[in-house]
Amino acid sequence: MQQNSAFAGIFVTLGIVYLSRRRPIGGWVLYFYLQLYLSVLLSLIFLPDVAKNLSPVGWDTPQRYFMFIGSTVPLTVAEWFEVFAASRLLYEKNAANLLTLRIAIGIVLVCAALAAGIDIEYFNSTPVSDIMTLIVAFIWSLYFSISERVQQVFVMHTFQHPDSVKNPQKIQT
């Protein structure tokens, strides 16, 4: 049942993204913001469990505790920096804020790679969430670096979707 709900949510999100493609903050740009803010909301759900593990009590060795801190805290801080940078860019669209977002996504990319490496080495686990974060950060890093739409929306302020009507004529009645 949860899998069907997840697919339905993805389908609805992609529908919204498709229908909004003609707007400056639409299409994949809107998808970026939707996934960013939804992931923050979801991370708040898991915050109590993460907070419990931040206490050194209950860890079998200090080394494993510090490795957990090293894999969790920098990535979490980097993700919150990404949210800050993306929100700032949405509020004030300019090249400096776009660069800040690119740097933030790069930091998330590096922190996710380090977290995945720590989890594999010290916890003998497959860090699915770290690997997903790594893949998503890599994709968004490419998108925000090479997309013409990103340049047109956030830097040049000249975005015009090819399917949009340039000068709609008023219908005389």
The token pair at 143 is 């998108």
Counting Cβ atoms within 10 Å, is residue 101 exposed (0-12), middle (13-18) or buried (19+)? buried
Which comes out higher in pLDDT, residue 66 or 5? 66
User: What digits encode the pLDDT tens for the residues 92-124?
Assistant: 999 999 999 999 999 999 999 999 999 999 888
The alpha carbons of the chain give a radius of gyration, in whole angstroms, of: 20
User: What's residue 126's pLDDT?
Assistant: 78
**15 pLDDT band (50/70/90 cuts)?**
confident
Mean pLDDT within 162-171: 57
Close Cβ partners of 163 (under 8 Å, ≥ 6 residues apart): 21, 22
pLDDT at 172 over 60: no
The closest alpha carbon to 32, from 143, 148, 157, 161, belongs to: 143
The percentage of the chain sitting over the pLDDT mark of 90, rounded to a whole number, equals 54
Close Cβ partners of 40 (under 8 Å, ≥ 6 residues apart): 79, 80, 83
pLDDT at 139 over 60: yes
Mean pLDDT for the chain?
87
User: What's residue 14's pLDDT?
Assistant: 78
Which comes out higher in pLDDT, residue 168 or 34? 34
Rounded to the nearest 5°, which phi and psi values hold at 124? 45, 45
**Cα-based distances in Å from 165 to 22, 25, 46, 161, 173:** 10, 17, 45, 9, 21
pTM above 0.75, yes or no: yes
Mean pLDDT within 118-138: 90
